[in-house]
A and B are shown apart, each in its own frame.
Chain A
Amino acid sequence: MDFDLTEDQRLLTDSVARLLADQYGFEQRKSLLKAPLGWSERLWSQYAELGLLGLPIPEEYGGFGGGPVDVMLLMQAFGRHLVLEPYLASIVLGGTALRLAGSAAQRDELLPALADGTLKLAFAHGERQSRYDLPDVLTTARQDGGGWRLDGAKSVVLHGDCADRLVVSARTAGSRDEAAGISLFLVDAEASGLARRGYALRDGTRAAELSLTGVPAELLGERDAALPVIERVIEAGIAATAAETIGAMEAMQAMTLDYLKTRQQFGRPIGDNQALQHRSAEMMIALEQGRSMAMLAAMSVDAPDAEERARSIAMARVGVGQAGRFVSQNAVQLHGGIGMTDEYAVGHFFRRVMVIEHLFGDTAHHLDRLADQVE
């Protein structure tokens, strides 16, 4: 057991912290939000140069061969600054799918491009009706000559508007809710029959609705047997966003403390009031408990035993989800009126945490899964 960072990990966190402190001020971020793309291509290139995009990609594909703890540290830093670039969508979700399911040829072709930033992926799995049920897939794939064609629709695809290629799930057999019969495909963003409608989520990050009509596609991984891969992609997403939530909670806690010390009412700082002091202590307790769970997620995400891994990830999701709600709701409460305004940062962190909790199964969903396993 060991909670130390390696020398490399310390260098990583230092350099990322410097970059973001310099480039990701609240006002700088605001101007990125207003741009049509919703994030910065210039910064994306800088991430590539710093090796951040290749961080979890094996060295043989031009990456840095980092592990989940490296990703945790990076996502935590991203959470502190509400980074808008498609790291989660492309590197974490897309990259995990590609690493786990890709053939040797597909990995050779795509992983190096992912690592140097020239290729952006998105993971298109959820559908309008599926909510958090991973086997609920209605999009279909049919064979057409040597290839495949997809028909259906995908919903809330993170950064699906800017991706160059999409990893799309579709039914090659079976019916709705069946675990077997789901396959993954690679789809070119410019493919005929693919319509994308991009929009912003409540936190300003981008997503898209996809409509697929006879879209040509290339099989990624084993036919009919993609559900275990999809589960692992979602687990990787949960671990990464758990860390991002910790970063956002740290930022909210720091802002709130600062506010408690400076805001004067009745002739003294509002932080002199014990009701508010205790709330802030409870926020800290929630943050530390959440941090422990984000560590659990990072250290479980590559665990070989699927059942144990899924259980740890679900526990982490519940722990971080509850901590995130408590800290963000109280951060706004303790700020009072200013916490409700769009011009103030705390509400932006609040919305990021809110969006994250509703991406890969919310707290109730994962608590329910854990309740199934009580024995």
Chain B
Amino acid sequence: MDLRFTPEEVAFREEVRAFIRANLPADIRERMRLGHKPTKQDTITWQRILNARGWAAFSWPTEWGGPGWTAIQRMIFLEENLQAPAPELLSFNITMLGPVLVEFGTETQKRHFLPRAANLDDWWCQGFSEPGAGSDLASLRTAAVRDGDHYVVNGQKIWTSTAHNADWCFCLVRTDPKAAKRQEGISFLLIDLRTPGIEVRPIISIDGSHHLNEVFFTDVRVPAENLVGEENKGWSVAKYLLGNERTGIARLGTSKAAVRRAKEVAREVRTRGRPLIEDRAFRTRVAQLEVDMKALEITQLRVVSAFAKSGGKTPDPLSSVLKVKGTELLQASSELVMDVGGPLAMPAWQQELAALANEPAPIPDWAPAMAPAYLMLRAASIYGGTNEIQKNILNKAVLGL
């Protein structure tokens, strides 16, 4: 047993770090450093730079453009990218659709969609949740009825992240409403969002941003060749997608970058006549977060290592531990950053800041992104299976309750 990275892994980390340092455009770097979310164009630009290096499809098999990395290398790459901090790869394209097409797609689907997904020529979104189907996904009702060589889709999806940016949506639809088990009548369909009959309506989040959407389907005709896997077998495809390698799920790099940021700003601001960084309560809070991040880092290594040993096939139920603790840390670290900002983190001055672009900023540059990050990360314990659902999974899979 040895927790140290091999010299090759250390060299790999250096290689990734050096590449990001040399190639992340300065304006994107600055936005990310200040804690802002990447713009649509930031995400596209950075993913194309990584793709040109052969790294965007980091978890795909080499025959479909993957770099052929080990599980440890993949983890190191994701961590370095988050810690830089650089925009994340579009997970819908890379960690969700890509592996699903590799496993279940037809040759034509693979050849057409995979290179475009890697290069972000198509922006994908995920059409799973519905108003009546959240944690209970199998109760989804959006219907697809076969009509010649098309499916006709009617229904509604909700909480569809980045649908307003997206070109395509991979959807779960009900193709057999009479199936004996709810899970048996579901299919996995690729839908071009430019098809007539689709309407995307924004949902504004508590951070004031437009990230989520409702998507309405009215008599949308989808070519039958866009079915992935067999008809009525979409639930296995979805389970594969959700249970697929989840090394990135803890997003530890983001929490680390946030704590680092909190300490930086804590040198600038004061409390009770001294720099906040000297305050005992603040230091203890940081120390506790650093302990928890260290524990999760090792737990993550254990999961990655077990995953690699299983030949990359068995998703470890421990990945639910990564999800729960990882999101708790994302939330706690963003909370810390906001608290460091204090009252200056509170003004909702986005428009004013934009209008005053040529004047001295009314608040420090570190302030505007603090509260939005905190607010948006409340979603971290809700999406991808709520943390309560993760605990149910642990009970079933590991504890047998």
Spell out A's residues near B (CB within 8 Å): 1-5, 9, 69, 257, 260-261, 271-272, 274, 277-278, 280-282, 284-285, 288-293, 295-296, 298-299, 315, 318-319, 367-368, 370-375
Contacts and interface: CB of A to CB of B under 8 A. Distances in A.
Contacts of B321: 284-285, 288-289
A374 B277 contact: yes
Interface in B170-216: none
A288 B388 CA distance: 18
Nearest to B391: A281
A2 B391 CA distance: 28
Interface string B276-315: 0100100110111011101111110110011000000000
B295 A3 contact: no
Among B5, B318, B388, B399, find the residue whose CB has the most chain A CB atoms closer than 10 A. B399
Contacts of A5: 1
Contacts of B286: 371, 374
Nearest to B303: A288
A284 B399 contact: yes
A149 B194 CA distance: 91
A296 B291 contact: no
Given A299-B2, A367-B287, A367-B288, A1 B301 contact: yes
Nearest to A68: B1
Given A278-B391, A284-B394, A374-B283, A261 B401 contact: yes
Contacts of B398: 284
A295 B4 CA distance: 12
B373 interface: no
Interface in B329-352: none
B1 A299 contact: yes
A292 B301 CA distance: 9
B271 interface: no
Please list the 6 inter-chain residue pairs (A to B) with the smallest Cβ-Cβ separation, ordered nearest first: A292-B298, A281-B391, A370-B287, A371-B283, A281-B394, A289-B295
Among A5, A282, A370, find the residue whose CB has the most chain B CB atoms closer than 10 A. A370
Contacts of B4: 1, 299
B91 interface: no
- The prevalent SS among residues of A at the interface is helix
B291 A280 contact: no
Contacts of A261: 400-401
Interface in B147-191: none
B6 interface: yes
B357 interface: no
Given A285-B394, A295-B3, A3 B299 contact: no
A274 B392 CA distance: 8
A1 B388 contact: no
A370 B399 contact: no
Nearest to A321: B291
Contacts of A277: 391-392, 395, 399, 401
Contacts of B298: 292-293, 295-296
Given A299-B2, A318-B291, A371-B283, A3 B324 contact: no
Contacts of A281: 390-392, 394-395, 399
Interface of B: 1-6, 9, 72, 263, 277, 280, 283-284, 286-288, 290-292, 294-299, 301-302, 305-306, 318, 321, 324-325, 388, 390-392, 394-395, 398-401
B394 A3 contact: no
Contacts of A298: 1
B85 to A, nearest CB: 20
Nearest to B388: A278
Contact of A280 (B283, B288, B318, B401): B401
B283 A1 contact: no
Contact of B318 (A3, A288, A373, A375): A288
A274 B295 CA distance: 27
A374 B285 CA distance: 10
B314 to A, nearest CB: 15
Nearest to B287: A370
13 contacts: A1-B305, A3-B302, A260-B401, A272-B401, A278-B395, A280-B395, A281-B391, A281-B395, A296-B3, A315-B290, A319-B294, A367-B287, A373-B287
Contacts of A257: 399-401
Contact of B294 (A271, A278, A285, A293): A293
Nearest to A283: B399
Contacts of B391: 277-278, 281-282
A22 B299 CA distance: 32
A9 B2 CA distance: 13
Contacts of B5: 1
Given A281-B399, A293-B291, A371-B280, 15 more contacts: A1-B305, A2-B1, A3-B305, A281-B395, A282-B391, A291-B299, A295-B3, A298-B1, A299-B1, A318-B288, A319-B291, A368-B284, A370-B291, A371-B286, A371-B287
A295 B287 contact: no
A367 B280 CA distance: 11
B1 A4 contact: yes
Given A3-B306, A295-B3, A271 B284 contact: no
A299 B2 CA distance: 7
Given A281-B391, A288-B321, A374-B263, A2 B2 contact: yes
Contacts of B324: 285
A318 B321 CA distance: 19
B1 A315 contact: no
A2 B5 CA distance: 9
Contacts of A367: 284, 287-288, 291
A239 B296 CA distance: 18
A289 B301 CA distance: 12
A315 B388 CA distance: 28
Among B2, B263, B306, B390, find the residue whose CB has the most chain A CB atoms closer than 10 A. B2
Contacts of B291: 293, 315, 318-319, 367, 370
B311 to A, nearest CB: 15
